[in-house]
């Protein structure tokens, strides 16, 4: 998975590389400009020498002083020396043939100047001398203009390159900024919007579609918080519903008890009167059978009411050491009469397992799970009860209810059958109160709900795996009693 930090480092590394490259190139350009300026100074120096040659030439023609002649010849020698020593500086403004011609012109000018006789006028010689001097100045001015043009071109080129480099640097910085804004600011903005949605009660998972490690970790953490929040919200809502349900059941059960008691009492009185009356045997037997059915159904209704009262009543929780093997044995003894002959029970529970909990509640949980398994087998099949120390997490493909604290010792109790199983749509609802897939009159839908309440009360968890036609497997993780001295 890519790392956002790595991309940021690469982006800023690219900017730093470009800055370093631009700086190095600027240094090279500056050095070339400095060399060009130095060469230009020599060209301009040569122009100044040429002008000085002409100036002292005129002075010598006007005043005939030997000092002016000496100065003139000195500048000629200086010009020839400058061309000889710094030919590379002049090579940029003139060809080698042109420089050679200038050296010949200086030599010719010096010869003409030396051949002139002081005080004697020589119109033809003076004309040739002036023409030679003029040619030297003309070439020097041409070189000076060429040098200025080259320098101006270099300055323009450097300016264009510098502006282009700045533009490229700005574009790269903007690109890096846009990348950071897209990779960081956008996810954070979406995260902020999702938090606002959570504050308004809308729990929507975050899916940013980015693979950066930091953003993916943040997304995973945020989604985990949402899952926990949704779970806690569901548990809170469930607790509120159950509290209201308990109050309702308590009132309904209390109100039903009185009419059921009256029905039972009236049935007994009517049965006694029929037995004492002189009525035909056939009629008496039929009426007696009807009254027995009424009495039986009345008692059945009273047992249902008692179950509701037991659920609604808040009994004190008493934690104690509960050996698991005897608990399983007692629970099986209670349902022995409900086990068909074609159902085999396989128990694999060692003697060393001791639970920490309320014995009566734990027995009720085992009793309900075993009873449900027997009903799921529909007269034939195998029921398995096993126990082992809980290690690791619950199976990944199981639906888990409740919290499992892996830091404390746990015992895992398995109750499984190879019955008809539960479909995926029904499985998440099996622990809801009054939810049942049984036919009317064969259950209230409170058995598994009570099991979940007991497991949650003990601070454990219950996982269920089931497939239609492949049976059902319940895994209870309950706290173990610390038997250490």
Overall average pLDDT of the 62-76 stretch: 86
Pairing mode, if any, of strands 380-389 and 399-402?
Answer: unpaired
Taking the C-alpha atoms of 256, 259, 263 and 269 in order, what is their torsion angle to the nearest 10 degrees?
140
Q: Is the pLDDT of residue 299 over 80?
A: no
Assign residue 433 a region: left if phi > 0, alpha if psi is -120 to 50, beta otherwise? beta
N residues, the chain: 485
Exposure string for 64-87, b = 16+ CB within 10 A, e = fewer: eeeebbebbbebbeebbebbeebe
pLDDT band at 48 (very low <50, low <70, confident <90, very high): very high
pLDDT band at 421 (very low <50, low <70, confident <90, very high): confident
> Which residues partner with 387 through β-bridges?
413
Rounded to the nearest angstrom, the gap between the alpha carbon of residue 379 and the centroid of all alpha carbons in its chain is 52
Per-residue pLDDT reduced to its tens digit, 327-358: 888 888 777 777 888 888 888 888 888 998 88
DSSP conformation letters of 98-130? HHHHHHHHHHHHHHHHHHPPTT---HHHHHHHH
Cα–Cα distance, 153 to 187 (Å, whole number): 50
Domains of the chain: 4-178 (1.20.120), 213-312 (1.10.287.130), 320-479 (3.30.565.10)
More confident residue, 182 or 250: 182
Q: Is the pLDDT of residue 233 over 50?
A: yes
Q: Are 133 and 57 in contact (CB under 8 A)?
A: yes
Q: Burial, 471: exposed, middle or buried (Cβ in 10 Å; 0-12, 13-18, 19+)?
A: buried
Helix, strand and coil content of the chain, in percent to the nearest 5, comes to: 65, 10, 20
More confident residue, 217 or 300: 217
Look at residue 278 in the predicted model and tell me its pLDDT.
54
Per-residue pLDDT reduced to its tens digit, 353-378: 899 888 888 888 888 888 888 888 88
Q: What angle do CA 17, 19, 20 make, to 5 degrees?
A: 65
Per-residue pLDDT reduced to its tens digit, 204-232: 666 656 566 666 776 777 777 777 776 66
More confident residue, 281 or 65: 65
Exposure string for 125-144, b = 16+ CB within 10 A, e = fewer: eeeebeebbebbeebbeebb
Q: Is the pLDDT of residue 77 over 70?
A: yes
pLDDT band at 267 (very low <50, low <70, confident <90, very high): confident
Q: What angle do CA 145, 148, 150 make, to 5 degrees?
A: 110
Per-residue pLDDT reduced to its tens digit, 429-459: 777 776 666 654 445 566 778 888 888 888 8
Q: Are 324 and 388 in contact (CB under 8 A)?
A: no
Q: Are 384 and 343 in contact (CB under 8 A)?
A: no
- The candidate with the shortest Cα–Cα distance to 455, out of 447, 443, 465, 466, is 447
Q: If residue 54 lies in a helix (H) or strand (E), which one and from where to where?
A: helix 4-63
More confident residue, 138 or 234: 138
Cα–Cα distance, 274 to 283 (Å, whole number): 10
Other Cβ atoms less than 10 A from the Cβ of 231: the count is 12
Look at residue 248 in the predicted model and tell me its pLDDT.
66
Q: Burial, 156: exposed, middle or buried (Cβ in 10 Å; 0-12, 13-18, 19+)?
A: exposed
DSSP 8-state secondary structure symbol assigned to residue 389: E
Q: Is the pLDDT of residue 184 over 80?
A: no
Q: Is the pLDDT of residue 282 over 70?
A: no
Side by side, the strands of the sheet bearing 399-402 are: 342-348, 380-389, 410-417, 471-479, 461-467, 399-402
Look at residue 386 in the predicted model and tell me its pLDDT.
92
> Which residues partner with 384 through β-bridges?
346, 416
Share above pLDDT 70 across residues of the chain, in percent, rounded to a whole number: 76
Q: Is the pLDDT of residue 280 over 60?
A: no
Q: Cβ contacts of residue 457 below 8 Å, gap of 6+? A: 317, 358, 361
Mean pLDDT of the chain: 78
Look at residue 438 in the predicted model and tell me its pLDDT.
61
Cα–Cα distance, 233 to 235 (Å, whole number): 5
pLDDT band at 254 (very low <50, low <70, confident <90, very high): low
Share above pLDDT 90 across residues of the chain, in percent, rounded to a whole number: 3
More confident residue, 247 or 27: 27
pLDDT band at 246 (very low <50, low <70, confident <90, very high): low
* pTM as predicted: 0.41
Cα–Cα distance, 415 to 478 (Å, whole number): 14
Pairing mode, if any, of strands 410-417 and 380-389?
Answer: antiparallel
Overall average pLDDT of the 64-82 stretch: 87
């Amino acid at each position: 998975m890519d790392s956002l930090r790595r991309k940021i480092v690469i982006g800023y590394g690219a900017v730093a590389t470009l800055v370093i490259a631009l700086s190095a190139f600027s240094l090279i350009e500056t050095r070339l400009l400095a060399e060009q300026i130095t060469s230009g100074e020599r060209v301009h120096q040569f122009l100044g020498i040429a002008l000085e040659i002409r100036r002292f030439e005129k002075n010598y023609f006007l005043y005939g002083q030997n000092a002016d002649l000496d100065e003139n010849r000195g500048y000629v020698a200086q010009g020839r020396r400058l061309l000889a020593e710094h030919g590379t500086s002049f090579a940029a403004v003139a060809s080698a043939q042109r420089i050679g011609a200038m050296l010949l012109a200086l030599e010719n000018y010096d010869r003409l100047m030396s051949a002139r006789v002081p005080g004697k006028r020589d119109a033809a010689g003076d004309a040739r001398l002036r023409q030679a001097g003029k040619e030297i100045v003309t070439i020097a001015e041409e070189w000076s203009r060429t040098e200025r043009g080259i320098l101006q071109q270099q300055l323009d080129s450097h300016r264009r390159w510098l502006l282009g480099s700045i533009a490229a640097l700005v574009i790269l910085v903007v690109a890096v900024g846009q990348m950071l804004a897209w990779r960081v600011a956008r996810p954070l903005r979406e995260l902020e919007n999702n938090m606002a949605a959570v504050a308004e009660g809308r729990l929507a998972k975050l899916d940013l579609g980015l693979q950066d490690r930091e953003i993916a970790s943040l997304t995973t953490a945020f989604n985990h918080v949402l899952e926990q929040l949704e779970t806690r919200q569901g548990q809170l809502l469930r607790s509120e519903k159950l509290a209201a349900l308990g109050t309702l059941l308590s009132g309904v059960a209390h109100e039903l008890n009185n009419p059921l008691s009256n029905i039972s009492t009236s049935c007994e009185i009517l049965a006694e009167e029929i037995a004492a009356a002189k009525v035909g045997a056939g009629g008496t037997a039929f009426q007696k059978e009807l009254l027995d059915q009424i009495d039986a159904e009345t008692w059945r209704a009273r047992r249902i009411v008692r179950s509701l009262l037991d659920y609604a009543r808040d009994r004190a929780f008493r934690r104690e050491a509960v050996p698991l093997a005897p608990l399983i044995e007692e629970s099986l003894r209670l349902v022995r009469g409900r086990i068909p002959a074609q159902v085999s029970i396989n128990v694999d529970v060692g003697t060393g397992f001791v639970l920490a909990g309320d014995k009566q509640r734990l027995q009720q949980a085992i009793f309900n799970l075993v009873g449900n398994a027997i009903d799921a087998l529909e007269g034939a099949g195998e029921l398995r009860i096993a126990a082992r120390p809980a290690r690791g997490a619950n199976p990944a493909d199981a639906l888990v209810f409740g919290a499992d604290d892996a830091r404390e010792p746990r015992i895992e109790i398995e109750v499984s059958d190879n019955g008809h199983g539960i479909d995926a749509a029904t499985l998440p609802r099996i622990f809801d109160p009054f939810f049942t897939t049984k036919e009317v009159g064969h259950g209230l839908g409170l058995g598994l709900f009570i099991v979940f309440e007991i497991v949650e009360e003990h601070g454990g968890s219950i996982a269920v795996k089931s497939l239609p036609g492949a049976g059902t497997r319940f895994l209870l993780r309950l706290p173990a009693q610390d038997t250490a001295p």
